[in-house]
Amino acid sequence: PVRMGAQDMHHEESGAFTGAVSGPMLRSVGCHYVILGHSERRQYFGETDDGVNVKVHRARAHKLVPIVCVGETLGERDSGREREVVGRQVERGLADLRIADASELVVAYEPVWAIGTGRTASPDQAASMHAFIRSRLLELLGAPVGSQVDILYGGSMKPDNAADLLSRPDVNGGLIGGASLKADDFAGIVRAAAAIGS
């Protein structure tokens, strides 16, 4: 039941891009998923919504399931622009995407202000943003598909908050970062998810 994923993928299929990893390379080692548009890629490597979109289409061309990350910074949230920012990231990142089944896409909401800071969005904040993302998916992909795409929470999920977060509507799982490096913490999150059927 375990499937492998990669943390990023180059947008070109092949070529002289030393150090870059392409879709065919990921498929050849058994990857099923690929994370695209992670906040750290956006912050440190200058990735844009349009660049994420190119990667999304390339991933689908190689039958990889993109896990498309969206989320706002602390400044954007404090200025009340979180929905504007996340809505734009969803719309541009998934532009012109045509999928027949919800299993062909995953979206991860990662409030940037809650990554690696020890801060976590409250379950109500997470649920509100997940509901907003769901509404955008319904508009972009239509009801049959948009209503079923998994939306993961990726902002410092831990054993002590996992059950509360995962029990909320449209929080369909977690994109686990730091807690995945500690076996006991990760196992605690897995147990919380199993207990509520996520």
Task: Just list the catalytic residues.
Answer: 38, 110
Q: Tell me how far apart the alpha carbons of residues 93 and 99 are, in angstroms, rounded to a whole number.
A: 14
Q: Tell me how far apart the alpha carbons of residues 171 and 182 are, in angstroms, rounded to a whole number.
A: 23
* Amino acid identity for residue 62 in this structure: H
Three-class DSSP category at 90: helix
* Among 80, 14, 66, 61, residue whose Cα is nearest residue 38: 66
Cα–Cα distances (Å) from 87 to 54, 72, 123, in that order, read: 18, 10, 20
Three-class DSSP category at 26: helix
Signed CA dihedral, 139, 142, 143, 146: sign only: negative
